[in-house]
A and B are shown apart, each in its own frame.
Chain A
Amino acid sequence: MADVKKIATRESYGNALAELGDKYDNLYVLDADLAAATKTGIFKKKFPDRHFDCGIAEANMMGVAAGLAATGKIPFASTFAMFAAGRAFEQVRNSIGYPHLNVKIGATHAGISVGEDGATHQCNEDIALMRTIPGMVIINPADDVEARAAVEAAVKYVGPVYMRFGRLAVPVFNDPATYKFELGKGIKLADGEDIAIIATGLMVNEAIEAEKELRANGINATVINIHTIKPIDEDIIVEAAKKTGLVLTVEEHSVIGGLGSAVADVLCTKCPTKLIKIGVNDEFGHSGPAAMLLKEFGLSAENIVKTATQAVKNK
C-alpha cells in the first residue's frame, strides 16, 4: 500500500474549482477566512477577482451566496463542515433551501478525521442536518477522483448542493480513466452474497480493504459506495439487501441521521432487512492524530471485518 497516492478531498475540491473556473465563467467562490484550509486558495490564486472572503461570518456568507445565486451566479460557499452545516444551518435552510437557490456548499474538515483540533471542530452531524432540508443534494466523495467529479456534477446540477470533504490525505483508489460520477447513483465495488457493506466518504476505502480480508476468510461481501447521500440510490440498496439479507453501513459521521439512517429509511419501507451501523456513536470526539482516532472510533477495515464476521455468524 506504500505506493498508493494519498490526497485529501479538500485538496481535490480546491483543484477542481480552479480547473472548472476556466470552463464556467459564472463560478464564484466565497470563503470565511479559511481559504488556506478549505483549499479554495488554489482557486483564489488563479481567479483573484472571483474569490470573495467573507471574514469569520458564516451566516452572512450563506446569505451572500444566496444573493449571488438569485442573480445568476454559481457560488461555492466554503468553510468547515461544523460552520457550514452547524452554525449556518438556519441560513442554509431559509436563505438557500427554501428558495431552492443554486448555491453549492463546500464543507471541508468533516468528521472525526479532523484530528488534533478536537471535538469542537469534528463535525459528525452535518449529513444528518442537511438531510432534513427539502431539496438539498448531499455528496460525500470517497477519494480525489470522485471528489473532483462531484464538484463538476454539482456545477452542472441546478439547485442547492452540500459537498462534504475531509482534511486527511486518503488513498486514491478510483481510476480516473474509467471512473464515472452519476449524481444519485451508488457504485457497486464488490458482489457477494453473505453481507452488503454500504459505505460513504473515507470509509469506502476501508470497506474495500475489509472485503478483501473477508473474502480470504471465506465471507463474500457486496460493497457499495454511496457518494450521493441525498437523493439516495434506493434501487442499489434494495437489490443488495435482497441478495444478502444483511446490511452493514459504514460512515465517518454520527450513527444518528447519516448514511446508516438514510439506508434504514429505505430498507424499513422497501425491504426490511437486518441492519448494523458503524459510525461515530452518540458521543463527541476528542483530540488526537486522525489515524488513531479513526481506529479508536471503529472507523477502520479491521472493525468492519470484525463486525461483518460476527454478523454473518449470527445470520
Chain B
Amino acid sequence: MDAKLKKQLEITACKVRLGIIEGVYNAKSGHPGGSLSIADTLTYLYFAKMNVYPDKPDEKDRDRFVLSKGHTAPALYSVLANRGFFSVEELKSLRHIGAMLQGHPCITIPGVDMSSGSLGQGISVACGMALSAKISNDTYKVYTILGDGEIQEGQVWEAAMFAAHYKLDNLVAVVDNNGLQIDGNIKDVMSPYPIVDKFRAFGWHVIEMDAHDFDSIEAAFNEAESICGQPVAIIQKSVKGKGVSFMENNVSWHGTAPNTEQYEQAKAELEAALKALEA
C-alpha cells in the first residue's frame, strides 16, 4: 500500500477508535471489544474501498455494507461520523433516549444500509442485496462483517450455501476472528473451527487477513475483487479490544463500558498513538 495512504488510514483508524470509546463511555453500555477489533477493516472499507456518498447516503450505485455483528455498532457509527455522514459529536448520544444512534444499527441512520444485531441475519440480507445487483446488472459490491462467534448461528450456513449457489462474486463476507465471545474463548464455548475449511467446503473463495495491518487488508480486498463466480470470505485474524492496552484479548470487554478512570486511560493511549502517527 502507498505509504501516505497507509499513514492516513492509520490516523483515521485511531480517530475511529477514539469515537468508539467516546460513544460507549457516554452510553455507559455497549460493546467496545469487538468494535475495536473491526476498526481498521471498517476504516479501510469506508475510506479507501467502498463507493459511498456521505452527502447522498441513499445513492443507488453506492456499495452496500451490512454489519452482521450488529452489536459492534459503535465502530460503524464512528466510521460513518468520521466519514461525514453525521457529526462526530453525535457519537456521544449513542444509546441515549431519543437519540438517533440506536444500540444496534438502524436503517434510518444516514449511511446505515440495514438494521442488524440479531446475529446470523445480516449475511442473509447481504446475500439478497448481492443477488439484487446481479439481477439488475448493477455494479455495486456488498460487504458484510460477521463475528467468529456469530457463525455458530445456523442461518449463517444457510446464507453461505445460498451465496455460493447463486455465484454471488459481488459479495464479500468478513469473519472477525478475534477468538472471544461473551462466555469465553470460542474454542471452549462452541468451536466454529476450522473456519477457513468450512467456507471453502461451502464453495467460497477464502482469504486470510491480518485485521490490523493495512497492507494485508488492502491485499485481501483487492484479491476479493478479482474473484469471479464465487463469493469471497475474508477470515481476519484480529485482536479483541485492539488499540486499548487493558481491553486487548480480554473477554470482559465484550459488552462492558469503561468507567471514568478507564475511559481517561483509553483516551490517553489512543491520543498518544494518534499524536505519534501525526508527528
Contacts and interface: CB of A to CB of B under 8 A. Distances in A.
Interface of A: 28, 49-50, 52, 54-55, 57, 59-73, 75, 90-91, 94-95, 98-99
B126 interface: yes
A176 to B, nearest CB: 33
A67 B158 contact: no
Q: Which 10 A-B pairs have the closest CB atoms?
A: A67-B128, A63-B124, A60-B158, A57-B158, A64-B128, A71-B132, A67-B129, A99-B107, A67-B125, A99-B115
Interface SS of chain A: helix
B3 interface: no
Contact of B162 (A55, A70, A75): A55
Interface of B: 60, 64, 66, 106-107, 113-115, 117-118, 120-133, 135, 138, 154-155, 158-159, 161-162, 165-166
Contacts of A67: 66, 114, 124-132
Given A57-B158, A60-B124, 12 more contacts: A28-B135, A49-B135, A60-B161, A63-B127, A64-B125, A67-B114, A67-B127, A67-B130, A68-B128, A72-B60, A95-B118, A99-B107
A73 B125 CA distance: 13
A178 to B, nearest CB: 38
Contacts of B66: 67
A144 B161 CA distance: 36
Contacts of A95: 114-115, 118, 121, 124-125
Contacts of B113: 70
26 contacts: A49-B135, A52-B131, A52-B166, A55-B161, A57-B158, A60-B124, A60-B158, A63-B125, A63-B128, A64-B125, A64-B159, A67-B114, A67-B126, A67-B131, A67-B132, A70-B64, A70-B125, A75-B128, A90-B118, A91-B155, A94-B121, A95-B121, A95-B125, A98-B115, A99-B107, A99-B115
Nearest to A69: B128
Nearest to A28: B135
Nearest to A30: B128
Given A70-B114, A71-B133, A59 B166 contact: no
Contacts of A98: 106, 115
Contacts of B133: 71
A90 B121 CA distance: 9
Contacts of B155: 57, 59-60, 63, 91
Given A59-B155, A63-B123, A99 B114 contact: yes
Given A52-B131, A71-B64, A64 B124 contact: yes
Contact of A68 (B118, B121, B131, B161): B131
A65 B128 contact: yes
A99 B121 CA distance: 13
A49 B135 CA distance: 8
A65 B126 CA distance: 10
B56 to A, nearest CB: 16
A94 to B, nearest CB: 4
A60 B118 contact: no
Contacts of A72: 60, 132
Contacts of A75: 128
A67 B115 CA distance: 11
Nearest to A100: B107
A60 B159 contact: yes
Given A55-B161, A55-B162, A60-B162, A94 B124 contact: no
Q: By CB atoms of chain A within 10 A, which of B124, B133, B159 has the most?
A: B124
Contacts of A63: 121-125, 127-128, 155, 159
Nearest to A90: B118
Given A57-B158, A60-B162, A94 B117 contact: yes
Contacts of A73: 132, 135
Nearest to B165: A55
Contacts of B117: 94
Q: By CB atoms of chain A within 10 A, which of B117, B122, B125, B154 has the most?
A: B125
A59 B118 CA distance: 12
Q: By CB atoms of chain B within 10 A, which of A54, A55, A69, A90 has the most?
A: A54
A50 B159 CA distance: 19
Contacts of B115: 94-95, 98-99
